[in-house]
A and B are shown apart, each in its own frame.
Chain A
Amino acid sequence: MENILEIAKKKAVNGERLSLEEGLALYNDNDLLFLAECARKAKERKSGKEVYYNVNRHINLTNICTSGCPLCAFQCEKGDKRGFTLETEDIERILAEAKTVKNLGEIHIVSALHPDKPFEYYLNIVKQVKNALPNADIKAFTPVEIVHFAEMTGKSVKEVLSILKEAGLSSLPGGGAEILSDRVREIICPKKATATQWIHTMKTAHKLGIRTNCTMMYGHVETIEERLQHLITLREIQDETHGFQAFVAFPFHPANTQLSHLKRVGSWEDMKMMAMFRLMLDNIDHIKAFWIMLTMPVAQMALGFGADDLDGTIGEEKIIHAAGAKTNTGITKSRLQKIITEAGYIPVERDTFYHPIREGE
């Protein structure tokens, strides 16, 4: 009889599906470089030598939020002097700048759950962006925001998504998943969309032909089993819908949050988890090393640990920097290309849907 670790190792090497117990055995074995080798092979089976990035801009519309999640350093209550909300003319200014960016492929919009702003506010911004940048994909609103819109308007999630799609929305970012466990959400984000609502929104989007990303936030109060169960939940959704394009993980940054007594997990854990993601999520095409969260040195290393996407040039990022991230808020395309080349891979500029964009287009 082989023990579970030996079975798990064999499966990891061969690219076979891992169970929760097998994932746990690999995690506990803590053989970082073995996991890296398996993950690298798994990455190359999916995307060969290519590593993707895009030219994008993040827009955070507001940080005034009714959900007050203990995990978040970005949000504040109405009346707080840190509070901001972008209005039509602010968006106009941002879009005017965005228009000057060559090959801008994507506008990424995520925000807080504002207590007063109606659904029309968000809808109009999608229209405004689409109007100003007809060729850029609009990746906007996490399931948490979509659920909020549905609750505000009395419409179903399906109706909300259909209206947004009609207005020009191309895809959903994968945020707000955190850990899809009621126990964990009760502690880190009790007032926002539940695990069930998050899953339902994603499935609904996929069925409407809206592709999405999916995410995980780790390194707070969750157990390792809960992390793995989260990945398996995503994997099961993907088996059903095939609507996830990429998975993005966020290590928890405790600074300035209500959970600031927790420690940021180490880079060892980040690298190990990166490899685990690639191995567990066998049906998701892309694993993103989100450099804003990981720092660029760690994100580059992640390319040797199964990641195949470095996210984008970004421009202005507020949410994670509110939690004390020390990374720059933007990076040039040539720097991203150099980082990818150094890792022995071929840089490929992509659109939201991972179609390559050729130079000069």
Chain B
Amino acid sequence: MFTNEEYKDIENKILNGERLSREDGIRLFHCKDIAWLGAMADYVRKKKCGDIVYYNVNCHVNLTNICTSRCKFCAFGRDEDMPGAYAMTVEQAKDVVRDAMKDPNLAGLHVVSGLHPTWSFDDYLKILQDIHDEFPNLYLKGFTGVEITHFSKISGLSIKEVLEKLMGAGLQAIAGGGAEILSDRIRNELCPNKATADQWLEVARTAHLMGLKTNASMLYGHIETLEERVDHLLKLRDLQDETGGFQTFICFPFLPKNTELGKTIKQTSMWDDLRTMAISRLMLDNFQNIKAYWVMLTVPVAQVALGFGANDIDGTIHKETILHDAGATSPTALREDTIIDIIREAGRIPAACDCNFNILRKF
């Protein structure tokens, strides 16, 4: 391995398994030696996770795109009377799953949706319960901290009570979305109508204490500063120290197309995507898994990201809609054999897993 004289102190910390500070993180964002940065992240990945790369044979179910939050970075959410607005019935949601069940390897579902203005918590709950009743063998991962906060608000139940009910209906893990940047400055600007940073963290904390695993994420490449990216990672790291309940961290580059914010902001470069991936792996020393979410990154970037600290490439998805509304150029689904090829070309071992990283099949 090469050594980088300018970053020798950070390099020593990494090689000795020591924790990086906020200042270290900020300095890394100014490092132009992308190969060294990648090699550092790859070193940590290899030591911590070995050569397995996780993926899911999964199906995304987005129950509705009608949303009261209307965040400036989102191209999916709509008002009820806008063209393209939809809200699935229980049967329609099941039809999506039935269609996905044509793949005999389908292992589970990822259910995230808009904050519907008139649906009650029971409406969401019933769909989940009905899906679970018909497809008891599919794992159920779903709802972000933002949705859970919304459910608590509209039902008058506590976060804990909401989570208990969802778990009772079959929920096995919480999705990582909605974290965006955990900063009040950013959220007031971009998404003032949804869960605050503290509320998002509180959902994760409560879930973890109940034994419900969650994911974490970061939406970057919009109005945040590099310092705010680092602070975001530190907030996640602090909570992970406290609970250990985060399973994987997902980097979401902001996709500007069709969004309010996209009128002034350009899409991130592959360079930024890969350094952010590497720095996330290095800063989040207490996270086991780092996901290269191919839908947002595109397949080429996600594949190279496997060399920049990632050990998880998400799944087959069946039919992605949220990000394709924002002009994602990636396909809306990948075949399992394509995912296996992508992982193998990178010299790694593909392993299909469930939403809690239990390995189902390994190749």
Residues of A at the B interface (CB closer than 8 Å) are 13, 30, 32-34, 36-41, 263, 265-271, 295, 297-298, 300-301, 304-305, 326, 339, 342-344
Which residues on the A side are within 8 Å of B34 (C-beta)? 36, 301, 304, 343-344
User: Roughly how many angstroms separate A33 CA and B272 CA in the complex, as a whole number?
Assistant: 16
B118 contacts partner chain A, Cβ-Cβ < 8 Å: no
How many B residues touch A, CB cutoff 8 Å? 30
Q: Which chain B residues in 232-287 approach chain A with CB under 8 Å?
A: 269-272, 274
Which residues on the A side are within 8 Å of B329 (C-beta)? 326
Checking A37, A41, A268, A343 against B345 with a beta-carbon cut-off of 8 angstroms, the contacting residue is A268
Closest-by-CB residue of A relative to B35 is A36
B38 touches A36 (CB 8 A): yes
User: Roughly how many angstroms separate A107 CA and B181 CA in the complex, as a whole number?
Assistant: 47
Of the listed stretches B128-136, B199-207, B299-307, chain A binds B299-307
B1 contacts partner chain A, Cβ-Cβ < 8 Å: yes
B303 touches A266 (CB 8 A): yes
A301 touches B270 (CB 8 A): yes
Which residues on the B side are within 8 Å of A301 (C-beta)? 34, 270-271, 274, 304
B301 touches A33 (CB 8 A): no
User: Roughly how many angstroms separate A298 CA and B271 CA in the complex, as a whole number?
Assistant: 9
B36 contacts partner chain A, Cβ-Cβ < 8 Å: yes
A41 touches B2 (CB 8 A): yes
B91 contacts partner chain A, Cβ-Cβ < 8 Å: no
Extra 14 A-B pairs, beta carbons < 8 Å, given A34-B39, A268-B304: A33-B42, A33-B308, A37-B36, A268-B307, A268-B342, A270-B300, A297-B269, A300-B270, A300-B271, A301-B270, A301-B304, A326-B329, A343-B271, A344-B34
- What are 15 pairs between A and B in contact, CB < 8 Å? A32-B307, A32-B346, A37-B2, A265-B345, A266-B299, A266-B341, A266-B342, A268-B304, A269-B345, A297-B300, A298-B270, A301-B34, A301-B304, A343-B271, A344-B33
User: Roughly how many angstroms separate A206 CA and B271 CA in the complex, as a whole number?
Assistant: 37
B306 touches A268 (CB 8 A): yes
User: Roughly how many angstroms separate A342 CA and B32 CA in the complex, as a whole number?
Assistant: 8
Closest-by-CB residue of B relative to A297 is B270
Which residues on the A side are within 8 Å of B299 (C-beta)? 266-267
User: Roughly how many angstroms separate A132 CA and B329 CA in the complex, as a whole number?
Assistant: 41
User: Roughly how many angstroms separate A305 CA and B38 CA in the complex, as a whole number?
Assistant: 11
A295 touches B300 (CB 8 A): yes
A343 touches B32 (CB 8 A): yes
Q: How far is the CB of B306 from chain A (nearest CB, A)?
A: 7
Interface SS, A side: helix
Q: How far is the CB of B290 from chain A (nearest CB, A)?
A: 15
Checking A34, A266, A271, A344 against B1 with a beta-carbon cut-off of 8 angstroms, the contacting residue is A34
Q: How far is the CB of A109 from chain B (nearest CB, A)?
A: 30
Checking B2, B32, B39, B42 against A344 with a beta-carbon cut-off of 8 angstroms, the contacting residue is B32
Closest-by-CB residue of A relative to B1 is A34
Name the residue in A37, A295, A326 with the highest tally of chain B Cβ atoms < 10 Å from its Cβ.
A37
Name the residue in B1, B32, B34, B306 with the highest tally of chain A Cβ atoms < 10 Å from its Cβ.
B34
Closest-by-CB residue of A relative to B267 is A297
Which residues on the B side are within 8 Å of A38 (C-beta)? 2
0 or 1 for each of B25-62: is its CB under 8 Å from A? (1 = yes): 00000001111101100100000000000000000000
A41-B2, A266-B345, A268-B306 known; A297 and B39 CB under 8 Å? Answer: no
User: Roughly how many angstroms separate A37 CA and B303 CA in the complex, as a whole number?
Assistant: 18
A37 touches B35 (CB 8 A): yes
B17 contacts partner chain A, Cβ-Cβ < 8 Å: no
Q: Which chain B residues in 323-363 approach chain A with CB under 8 Å?
A: 329, 341-342, 345-347
B271 touches A342 (CB 8 A): yes
User: Roughly how many angstroms separate A147 CA and B269 CA in the complex, as a whole number?
Assistant: 42
A297-B270, A300-B269 known; A33 and B347 CB under 8 Å? Answer: no
Q: How far is the CB of B299 from chain A (nearest CB, A)?
A: 8
Closest-by-CB residue of A relative to B278 is A33
User: Roughly how many angstroms separate A353 CA and B42 CA in the complex, as a whole number?
Assistant: 38
User: Roughly how many angstroms separate A266 CA and B298 CA in the complex, as a whole number?
Assistant: 12
User: Roughly how many angstroms separate A171 CA and B276 CA in the complex, as a whole number?
Assistant: 41
Q: Which chain B residues in 1-15 approach chain A with CB under 8 Å?
A: 1-2
Which residues on the A side are within 8 Å of B298 (C-beta)? 297
